[in-house]
Every structure is written in structure tokens, then in C-alpha cells.
Amino acid sequence: MSVGFLFVLMLFYINLSFGIYDMTFSQLVETLFLQHVSEKLDMVVFQLRLPRMILAAFVGIGLGVAGAVLQGISKNKLADPGILGINSGAGAAIVVFMFFFQGQQAVTSWVATMTMPLFGLLGGLCAALCIFFISRENGRLDSQRLLLTGIAIGSGFGAFTVFLSLKMKAQDFEMATVWLSGSIYNANWIYILTIIPWFLLCLPIILRKSYLLDLFQLSEESQISVGVSVEKEKIFLLISSIGLVSACVSVAGSISFVGLIAPHIARLLVGHNHKNIVPLSALIGMILLVGSDFIGKTVVAPAEIPVGIVIAIIGVPYFVYLLFKNKEV
């Protein structure tokens, strides 16, 4: 964790200092502490780079933690909010919101931004319920069917999302297309304030109940014998993780593979105790998102590659590697 925090601090410095407009260390410090600030430096740091970096950090934390929870609940190391279709369900619901309400003058940008995660939560819950209902066999969750069901449900929601976005006006369609690819290029302080309540609500529940994820690796009879209310606790954790995913999707679009990669790296570093895996997954997810966003905005500058595409370039080979490694799938 200490090494990870040092790495995060390094990424924060790189993100704030380097780009189309480079800054020296002294300029950065003076700007952050409001000493001899020029309007140009103030705009670059506080209006462009800092909110984007903070939003990427929050999204990375949310997706990393949600991935660790889903892998623990499903007993499937390939589980991920994107691969299981939860991202697609949340994204479809948010596109429905954008289609029917975003263009109305009566809905202010603040109200719309605050309401979008609620729609995402409903869509994510709908996708999760479909996936877990179909994947259950004889009252138990079949981890072998979970991945295939998630891919199928995700594809269905994805097709519906594309169909609905094609019905939008040209300007709204362009915005929805960029958003669906997974991008935080339009990050602002309103987005950050919007998702903070979801993190304050869901993260403490997950951290407090993270020890249960160790017990979920046992058979259901063993869980009941030690006094665990299995279904109730799974529902609490599942709703909390979907709440995090929905908040992230509402401000950054559908970003896959973070919830797959971060828990795997955490498990390799600290073992199988979820009290250690969950916070480390949050830290690794933050590193992945902040680093990928910096790559996306600098490699082809002044153009940008959406952070979702950068993560996919990293995640797809890793996913294929895990498919070959895991004999159960």
C-alpha cells in the first residue's frame, strides 16, 4: 500500500505537470497553493487537469472495489462489472435517461447529473438480477455459467443502447458515442461532487463486510454453519458494488477490465484475505485509471484516446491470459 501511494503521488505530479502545456515543479506548487498564480496556470490546473485526475481516481477506486466484490461473491476470478454486463445495464439505463430527459430545458445540468446514477443503479440491478437468476442451478450460483450469461446479457443491453443512441439527435448521439467508449475528457467539479455521496454510502459497507467475501469461498452449508445469512449479505454487497459501478458509469461511461485486473494484481501481492484485497484493489484501480488517462491524452496529442480504449488495450490480452490459466472456465 505504501509503494502504491508513492506511485499514485508520482502519477498525480505527472498528470498535473505534463501535457500540451508543460509546467515546472515550482509553477505547480505555486499554483496549487495560490501563490503568484497566473490566470492561464489557474485554468490549466483547477479547471482542466485536477478535476479530470480526481475523477479518474474515483472511477478507478469504484471499479476496482466492485470487481473484488463480484469475484468474491461469484467465486469466479474472471468476474468483472464490464464482462458480466453490469456496466452495459447501467449504461443502457443512463442512455434511456439521456434520450428522454437530457434535452429538456426543465431539467438543469445539476439535477440531470445527480439523477443519472439513480438510473444507472436501476439498470445495473436489472442486469445483475438477470445474470444471477439465469446462472443459478439447484439454488446455487454456477460460476461456469456466470461468465457466459454475463457476456450474453451485456451484449443484449449493448445492442439496445446502440439502437437507442441512433434515434438521438446528431449532437446528442455524438455525446453518447464518446461517453459509451469510456471517457472522462469532460470531467468537472460537479461530476466529482455527484459521485462522492455514492462512495460515502457504499464504500464503508463493502469495507466493513469484506471479511464475508472470505467465507463466501466456502460451501453454502459451511457458510450457514458459522451463522452467516448468505443471501442477505450477498444482496447487501451486490447492491453496494452496483451502486459504485453505476456512479462511475454515469460520469465516465462504460470502462471494462479495471475490475478484472485490479483484484488479480492485489491477490498476487497480498494473498486471499479480502480485508487486504479490497483496499489494495481500490489503489490499483486508481493507478490504472489515472495512468491510462494520461496515456490517452498525451500519446496522440492534441487529439485524445478515450481512457476506456486504453484500458481495453491492456485488459483484453490479460483476459485472454486468464482464460487459458483458469481451467474451470
Three-class secondary structure assignment of 74-108: HCCCCCCCCCCCHHHHHHHHHHHHHHHHCCCCCCC
Q: Give me the pLDDT at residue 329, please.
A: 44
Instruction: Note the pTM of the prediction, 2 decimals.
Output: 0.88
Class of domain 56-219+226-325: mainly alpha
Q: Give me the pLDDT at residue 5, please.
A: 92
Residues with Cβ within 8 Å of 73's Cβ and at least 6 positions away in sequence, in order, are 79, 141, 213, 216, 234, 237, 238
Q: Give me the pLDDT at residue 144, please.
A: 67
What is the distance between the alpha carbons of residues 36 and 114, in angstroms, rounded to a whole number? Answer: 36
Residue type present at position 288: L
Q: Give me the pLDDT at residue 107, please.
A: 42
The domain locations on the chain are 56-219+226-325
Q: Give me the pLDDT at residue 206, please.
A: 94
Split the chain (329 residues) into runs of 10 and give each run's mean pLDDT: 91 87 84 78 86 93 93 83 83 83 53 73 84 75 74 87 81 73 81 89 92 82 73 84 86 86 92 92 94 88 84 84 66
Q: Give me the pLDDT at residue 139, please.
A: 65
What is the distance between the alpha carbons of residues 288 and 79, in angstroms, rounded to a whole number? Answer: 18
